[in-house]
Chains A and B, each alone.
Chain A
């Protein structure tokens, strides 16, 4: 880093969606900004499930729809409940451009170029080792022997918060708050995707799967149609209890392979080879995961590092939350500048901005979803129950059961009382 200046108005750590958005807006507002990224090629350390909600990102980049590398707009949302080879699926279709599928590597690349275009300086291949403190205030960063100073540092380091841990601001990641996402990208081909999933050009599908694809581990499966590939994978909720009990008994790659070869799903990617395989942690309990404050003297925390991810089981929002928190960080630093400087008193507005934002409100409002998604009932018993009801309705050689009796019989077989079903179904609808 010898050739770059040693002082900036703002240093942003991590050129993911949060960091790039913050760097872009700050540069546009006239701040000198250094955007530091550990990866070599733009975006090559980014990994996610596959779907991005557009509207909060349009607040930063109104040109998103026209310019961004969007593979397909999600026009079909599917939810499946799986019990062995039995599957129960619901589908919703729309034409509104609410969310899209893409490679995060490509989308982030686009965002970083926007930040650079606005005047932010990108330092890639730089792994920040330390956020520097002086007199209880963050004053800069260190990578190897190189020190760079700034009035404010935005920590957008992602879910593995090594820097915040080293500062003592957060504890080591608690397994109860995160899940492991594993993903295969399958080269299905553009026309195969459209014919097999029933999609038109530029139309995409997002699919959430619950049931025994995770072999009893809380979590679920996902499928997203990219331009000419399909991203599919599993999220496994890690928990201290499961770890201590030794509940993980087969390798995650065999779970994902089991899902890939499931008779209901495999025709969608018939003959496709694997283009890429990866893993990434995701936030499952955003409230427990969040740092106690989002703003500290000289430091703002954004994106995954701030725990800003909404996980509802049937849909997930991380990228737009990251971008939006980057925007709020930039707003807070601008507020500070306009009100006498980057003092802690001024930077604290960021904490307020986050807590009053739609993101935080959504996370709080849906906090019941966390308990439900970790519950054996939702993940295992209900998929079983629903597929059983279907089985009784459809699988008849002569006599079809009336739906009411199908349900009562299925409940009896699964040992669920009708009262429990109603109260839990109510909780579920209320919580999620």
Chain B
């Protein structure tokens, strides 16, 4: 864990996520049609996915499913209907302990 005690600065998301536990599936449970993202004017997923699974790279959106917290927000906010969203299978995915 890279958080230090008494830290006064905002902790970066990637460091915040170090506190979570996943059993990552080999197959992604979310499929994103990245061609549609190119046309998306607002790309709300970039700001609203709490786990930062959607990252902007120019006009592109790069998606990775591994850190997903399974909230379903991306699917709801996507204006392009580009997100094919399922729950992970076989008990995979995030394992909440203190939620």
**Chain A interface residues toward B at CB < 8 A:** 38-41, 43-48, 103-105, 124-125, 127, 144, 159-160, 162, 172-173, 175, 178, 180, 182-185, 226, 229, 231, 236, 238, 243-246, 248-254, 257-258, 260-261, 270-271, 273-281
Task: Judge whether A281 and B96 touch: CB under 8 Å.
Answer: no
Task: Write 9 A-B pairs (CB below 8 A) sorted by A numbering.
Answer: A47-B69, A105-B99, A185-B98, A238-B48, A246-B41, A252-B48, A253-B13, A278-B20, A278-B50
The 6 A-B residue pairs whose C-beta atoms are closest, nearest first, are A40-B91, A279-B50, A125-B91, A257-B10, A47-B99, A279-B71
Task: Judge whether A105 and B88 touch: CB under 8 Å.
Answer: no
Task: Judge whether B91 and A39 touch: CB under 8 Å.
Answer: yes
Task: Judge whether B20 and A127 touch: CB under 8 Å.
Answer: no
Q: How far is the CA of A248 from the CA of B16 in the complex (A)?
A: 20
Interface size counted on chain B using CB atoms at 8 A: 47
With a CB–CB cut-off of 8 A, which chain B residues contact A275?
Answer: 19, 97-98
Which parts of B76-99 form the interface with A (CB within 8 Å)? 76-77, 79, 85-99
Whether A276 contacts B11 in the complex (CB less than 8 A), given A127-B87, A238-B77, A248-B47, comes out as no
The answer to the question of B17 belonging to the interface, with a C-beta cut-off of 8 Å to chain A, is: yes
| Residue among B5, B23, B72 with max Cβ neighbours from chain A (10 Å) | B72
Task: Judge whether A38 and B91 touch: CB under 8 Å.
Answer: yes
Q: Which residue of B lies closest to A143 (CB)?
A: B89
Task: Judge whether A44 and B16 touch: CB under 8 Å.
Answer: no
Task: Judge whether B96 and A105 touch: CB under 8 Å.
Answer: yes
Task: Judge whether B87 and A38 touch: CB under 8 Å.
Answer: yes
Q: How far is the CA of A92 from the CA of B93 in the complex (A)?
A: 40
With a CB–CB cut-off of 8 A, which chain A residues contact B99?
Answer: 46-48, 103-105, 183, 185, 276, 278, 280
Q: How far is the CA of A313 from the CA of B85 in the complex (A)?
A: 30
Task: Judge whether B11 and A180 touch: CB under 8 Å.
Answer: no
With a CB–CB cut-off of 8 A, which chain A residues contact B69?
Answer: 47, 277-280
Task: Judge whether B71 and A45 touch: CB under 8 Å.
Answer: no
Task: Judge whether B10 and A45 touch: CB under 8 Å.
Answer: no
Least CB distance from A47 to B in Å reads 4
Task: Judge whether B77 and A243 touch: CB under 8 Å.
Answer: yes
Whether A124 contacts B91 in the complex (CB less than 8 A), given A277-B16, A277-B20, comes out as yes
Q: How far is the CA of A183 from the CA of B79 in the complex (A)?
A: 25
Q: Which residue of A lies closest to B99 (CB)?
A: A47
Task: Judge whether B96 and A46 touch: CB under 8 Å.
Answer: yes
Whether A276 contacts B20 in the complex (CB less than 8 A), given A46-B96, A48-B99, comes out as yes
With a CB–CB cut-off of 8 A, which chain B residues contact A40?
Answer: 23, 90-92, 95
Q: Which residue of B lies closest to A253 (CB)?
A: B13
Q: Which residue of A lies closest to B71 (CB)?
A: A279
